[in-house]
Structure 1
């Protein structure tokens, strides 16, 4: 089975700042080694969870320690109240009856 490398970050935002936060969080240029990324918002717009898939732990670590990432984090900082982040390894689960996984 294919192993996936995933970075998950959950941020609690200041009320009413979701749109400003969205404008600040998109990385430019796209990180090398990132395959895809998703963002999920709570209904009240005060919590955002980002999930990014990476080629390797090293690719993720390289981005996390880069100057563009430091600039991105500084741009997001005024809107963030709390932040939790973790790196995971895993794989797609087999779902009964789907023929996937």
Structure 2
């Protein structure tokens, strides 16, 4: 199976500000090298996990160092209480048919 490169970020959001955070979260431009992105949020709207798939670690690092990403992160800052993020390599696991 093909190796995948994934950036995962989990943020705790100030209560009641999920919609505002979501507007600030979207990048101005599509990052080069990003193939897919997903967002997941808790029932109370106070925790958001973003998962993005990249063609390489270098593509992700280039985006993270870009001016567009710096502006995006600055726009999110008023809504974020806490943030954790990491880069991973891995692959899809085969699920046996039952």
TM-score (ref. length: structure 2):
0.98
2:71 counterpart of 1:71? yes
Number of residues of Structure 1 aligned to a counterpart in Structure 2: 98
Unaligned runs of 5+ in 2: none
With the length of structure 1 as denominator, give the TM-score of the two structures.
Answer: 0.95
Aligned equivalent of 1:30:
30
Instruction: Tell me which residue corresponds to 2:87.
Output: 87
For the pair 1:55 / 2:55, whether they are aligned, the reply is yes
Deviations 1:18-52 (A, max 9, x none): 00000000112100000010000000000000000
Structure 1 unaligned residues grouped into runs of 5+: none
